[in-house]
């Protein structure tokens, strides 16, 4: 019987151990994603918006699985909540599970016809993102949003396809509460 080389806390999402890698995204890495460019430029570009811990021991092989925990810090650019870059998997048909661990947020998805869905993420919520579907999370609360994920190791990330036109909806604060707003420039 061998000791476990990594550990995961289902209560707070802490993922650690030998085969766990940490990636950090700062505000400067999210340029162009938020509607309010002036508000974006007035903020500290070095501030950390989110980090991802991933257990990716098998490498990007077909049939393998990766397990990760994303921690998205609370904050807004103008009225728009902090969010991840968002991506569609490079291997388009690869799906993914997400589940809420701590905090409160939104999972925004978009299919190939640019149809969006928005689901509340909260502790215990479970979300299946099908293949051919872009996904992004936003933190709509005042504490870090901690979200678990499991996805095929060969899925990869395509950020460019999303960066071009973005998602059709934004998650913004209105009268102190999160609302879904259609993008100004979005056409059917
Ligand atoms: C994935 C997952 C997830 C995601 C992070 C950061 O496919 O790897 O969807 O781990 O990468 O939440 O989001 P971005 O990759 O969009 O920056
Ligand atoms: Ni993904």
> What pLDDT tens digit does each residue of the chain (188 aa) get?
898 899 999 999 999 999 999 999 999 999 999 999 999 999 999 999 999 999 999 999 999 999 999 999 999 999 999 999 999 999 999 999 999 999 999 999 999 999 999 999 999 999 999 999 999 999 999 999 999 999 999 999 999 999 889 999 999 999 999 999 998 766 55
Decide whether any atom of ligand 1 lies within 6 Å of the 86 Cβ.
yes
Phi, psi of 158 (to 5 degrees): -110, 105
In the 8-state DSSP scheme, what is residue 28?
A: G
The whole-angstrom separation of Cα 120 and Cα 100 is 9
pLDDT at residue 60, rounded to an integer: 96
Decide whether any atom of ligand 1 lies within 6 Å of the 133 Cβ.
no
Sheet strands (E) in 5-139: 6-8, 15-17, 20-26, 48-55, 65-72, 76-77, 80-81, 96-102, 105-110, 116-121, 126-129, 134-139
Structure tokens at 85: 């870059």
pLDDT at residue 187, rounded to an integer: 59
Nearest 5 degrees, angle CA 177-CA 121-CA 40? Answer: 55
Decide whether any atom of ligand 1 lies within 6 Å of the 84 Cβ.
yes
The whole-angstrom separation of Cα 81 and Cα 142 is 10
- Mutation test of ligand 1: which of 149, 151, 153 has the most ligand atoms closer than 8 Å to its C-beta? 149
User: 16 CA distance to ligand 2 centroid (A)?
Assistant: 20
pLDDT at residue 188, rounded to an integer: 52
For ligand 1, atom 5, which residue shows the shortest CA distance? 70
- Burial annotation 81-105 (CB, 10 A radius, 16+ → b, else e): bbbbebbbbeeeebbbebbbbbbbb
Ion ligand 2, residues whose Cβ is below 5 A away: 96
The whole-angstrom separation of Cα 75 and Cα 159 is 22
């Amino acid at each position: 019987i061998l000791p476990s080389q990594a550990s995961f806390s289902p209560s707070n999402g802490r993922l650690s151990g030998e085969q766990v890698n940490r990636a950090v995204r700062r505000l400067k890495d999210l340029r162009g994603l938020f509607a309010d460019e002036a508000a974006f430029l007035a903020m500290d570009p070095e501030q950390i918006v989110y980090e991802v811990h991933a257990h990716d021991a098998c490498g990007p092989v077909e049939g393998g699985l990766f397990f990760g925990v994303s921690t998205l810090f609370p904050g807004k650019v103008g009225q728009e909540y902090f969010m991840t870059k968002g991506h569609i998997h490079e291997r388009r048909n690869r799906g993914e599970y997400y589940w809420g661990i701590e905090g409160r947020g939104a999972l925004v998805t978009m299919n190939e016809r640019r149809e969006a869905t928005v689901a509340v993420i909260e502790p215990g919520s479970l979300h299946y993102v099908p293949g051919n579907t872009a996904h992004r999370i936003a933190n709509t609360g005042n504490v870090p949003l901690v979200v678990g994920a499991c996805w095929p190791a060969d899925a990869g990330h395509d950020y460019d396809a999303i960066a071009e036109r973005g998602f059709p909806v934004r998650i913004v604060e209105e009268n102190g509460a999160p609302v879904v707003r259609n993008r100004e420039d979005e056409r059917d």
